[in-house]
Amino acid sequence: MHYLWLFIAIVAETLGTTALQASQQFTRLWPSVAVVAFYLVSFYCMSLALKVMPVGIVYAFWAGLGIVCIAAIGYLLFDQRLDGPALLGLALIISGILIIHLFSQSSTH
C-alpha cells in the first residue's frame, strides 16, 4: 500500500508542477489554486508512505520520478526541448531509482 501512496504523491506533485507552469507565476487564479491543492495531496500521500519507508528512499523516488515526469510533460505540453546531456541525466535518475528498488534492502523498514 505504501507504494500506492508514493505513486499518488508523485502524480500529484507532477500535476502541481504542471499547474505551476500554467499559473504564469501565480497570475492566473485556477492554476494557482491547483498548485496548492496538488501539493497538499502530494505531501499528505508522501507522509503516508513515510510510515513504512525511510525518508531518503521516499524522497529519492518522489523527486526523481517527479523530475522525469515533469520533463516529459514539459516536452509534450510546453514544447520544452531537452539536449543530450539532459536526457542522459534523466536516464541516470531512472537508473538510480531502479537500482534502489531492485537491489536495496533499504526500500522498506
Whole-number pLDDT of residue 50: 96
The domain limits of the chain are 2-103
Query: What's the grid cell of residue 57?
Result: 528512499
Q: Is the pLDDT of residue 109 over 60?
A: no
Q: Is the pLDDT of residue 85 over 60?
A: yes
- Are the beta carbons of 5 and 48 closer than 8 angstroms? yes
Q: What is the pLDDT of residues 35-58, one digit of tens each?
A: 999 999 999 999 999 999 999 999
